[in-house]
Copies of this chain bind each other. A is one copy, B any other.
Amino acid sequence: MTRAAHTPFAPVASIDEVAGLLRRAGGRFSAARRLLLEALFAADGPASAEQIASGLGGRGLEADLTSVYRNLEYLEELGVVRHVHAGHGAGLYALSRAPEREYLLCDACGTVTSVHPERLAAARELIQAEFGFAARFTHFPVSGVCAACREPGCQDRA
């Protein structure tokens, strides 16, 4: 998960598409990678390497954590995968989708909400105007407290 920004961006719609990309890049479409991709396609959103490794709730044979990390890194280099940092916890990985999603992370309940970038455009522009700073909430989310947790008597997590 070392690098962050300047990675190509290649949203894909199917596993076969990734298989093609992989081979064109001189890589192999191994069983471990098919499993990883099935897990990512099955997940409806960002998941940790650990969750992915343990078959993502499905009864699939789990893969080795090390390989999962290595493959996520490789797929990220190809632009097929992206990761977000969920506060303190482990990083979360998801398939690239166009447009690239941005995230809100609730400090109180730990929930990560993925949002369409247009909905943050105005805020991003305000920050750009005020600081000349191009904010992106794709890799590190907007941190704060979500609507549910602002309500009285909500002491969830963190």
How many monomers of this protein are in the complex?
2
In the complex, the answer to whether A104 meets B119 with C-beta atoms within 8 Å is no
Residues of B within 8 A of A137 (CB): 143
In the complex, the answer to whether B158 meets A4 with C-beta atoms within 8 Å is yes
In the complex, the answer to whether B120 meets A127 with C-beta atoms within 8 Å is yes
Partner of A135, one of B132, B139, B144: B144
Mostly helix, strand, loop or mixed at chain A's interface? Answer: mixed
In the complex, the answer to whether A131 meets B107 with C-beta atoms within 8 Å is no
Shortest CB–CB separation between residue A34 and chain B, in angstroms?
A: 30
Give A residues with C-beta under 8 Å from B: 2-5, 87-88, 104-108, 113, 115, 119-120, 122-123, 126-127, 130-137, 139-147, 150, 158
